């Protein structure tokens, strides 16, 4: 049986949250998902009321393609979605990540529980300039093997428990006013939502309260 993207979001997300709270001392951290249409009170004004010292991290979950486990895993990223993530990533480095869990089958997922982060890799979006990654294409396949993500060009990845990434996350995080401005783009019309139903799919925001 294949693992769904939602299953990976729920289980890997829980481990990321645990790492933020207990591993990095961010005890007030919580995950929040974005929808295509949200009520006004859940929009940018809601974010501002969290206070100026709050920080935000974006995690874009992806499920691997194929039916078998292996040494190499393939993931698909979309240009329009990436453009939005890249814009946020330019505000503060080490704050926006693709999450690539290397789990295709339920058997491997069950075997690795409760430590799915051991084979889940994070790719920083701030280094991924859209023209270099996509050219004129609307989607791209990312091939992940070892610590490398190959799209042409090639990028290095980390796991949450890696010291270099942990130190970077402690220094990262988008501040409230900047995040609120970026966040407002997700309050779209029904027409736009139908046109791009996946724009915020798989996106989870980690809110870090002071």
Residue 205 lies in a domain: no
Determine the pLDDT at residue 155: 96
pLDDT in tens, 24-60: 999 999 998 765 554 333 333 444 456 778 899 999 9
Residue 208 lies in a domain: no
> Residue with structure tokens 């939005």?
84
In a domain, 127, yes or no: yes
Residue 74, classed as helix, strand or coil, is strand
| Residue 209 within a domain | no
At 110, is the secondary structure helix, strand, or coil? helix
* In a domain? residue 207: no
Lowest-pLDDT range, 14-28, 50-64, 106-120, 190-204? 190-204
Each as own residue / partner, the long-range contacts of residues 118-121 (CB below 8 Å, 24 or more positions apart, any chain) are 118/159, 118/161, 120/12, 120/15, 120/159, 120/160, 121/147, 121/149, 121/157, 121/158, 121/159
Which pLDDT does position 46 carry in this prediction?
Answer: 43
d(CA 128, CA 19): 25
- Whether residue 210 lies inside any domain: the answer is no
Return the H-helix or E-strand segment holding 73: strand 73-78
- pLDDT band at 186; cut points 50, 70, 90: low
Residue 154: strand, helix, or coil: strand
- The verdict on residue 41 lying in a domain is yes
- Judge contact between 130 and 86, C-beta under 8 A: yes
What would the pLDDT profile of 53-88 be if each residue is shown by its tens digit? 889 999 999 999 999 999 999 999 999 999 999 999
List of residues 6+ apart from 209 with CB closer than 8 A: 28, 29, 50, 51, 53, 54
89/93 Cα distance (integer angstroms): 6
- In this structure, the number of other CB atoms found within 10 A of the CB of residue 195 comes to 11
Domain count for the chain, please give it.
1
173 CB neighbour count, 10 Å cutoff: 19
106's tokens: 């339920």
* Percent of residues in the chain assigned helix, strand, coil, to nearest 5: 40, 25, 35
DSSP letter string over 159-173? -TTSHHHHHHHHH--
| Residue 206 near residue 27, CB atoms below 8 Å | no
Parent domain of 167:
5-200
């Amino acid at each position: 049986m294949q693992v769904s993207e939602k299953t990976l979001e729920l289980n890997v997300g829980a481990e990321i949250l645990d790492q933020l709270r207990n591993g990095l001392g961010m005890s007030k951290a919580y995950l929040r998902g974005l929808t295509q249409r949200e009520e006004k009170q859940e929009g940018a004004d809601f974010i501002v009321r969290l206070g100026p010292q709050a920080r935000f991290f974006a995690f874009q979950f992806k499920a691997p393609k194929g039916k078998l486990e292996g040494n190499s895993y393939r993931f698909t990223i979309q240009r329009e979605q990436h453009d939005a993530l890249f814009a946020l990533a330019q505000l503060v480095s080490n704050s926006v990540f693709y999450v690539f869990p290397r789990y295709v089958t339920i058997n491997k997922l069950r075997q690795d529980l409760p430590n799915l982060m051991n084979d889940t890799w994070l790719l920083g979006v701030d280094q991924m300039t859209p023209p270099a990654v996509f050219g004129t294409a609307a989607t791209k396949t990312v091939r992940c093997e070892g610590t490398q993500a190959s799209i042409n060009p090639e990028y290095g990845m980390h796991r949450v428990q890696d010291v270099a990434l942990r130190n970077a996350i402690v220094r990262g995080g988008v501040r409230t006013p900047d995040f609120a401005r970026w966040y407002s783009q997700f309050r779209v019309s029904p027409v736009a939502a139908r046109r791009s139903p996946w724009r915020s799919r798989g996106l989870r925001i980690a809110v870090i309260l002071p």
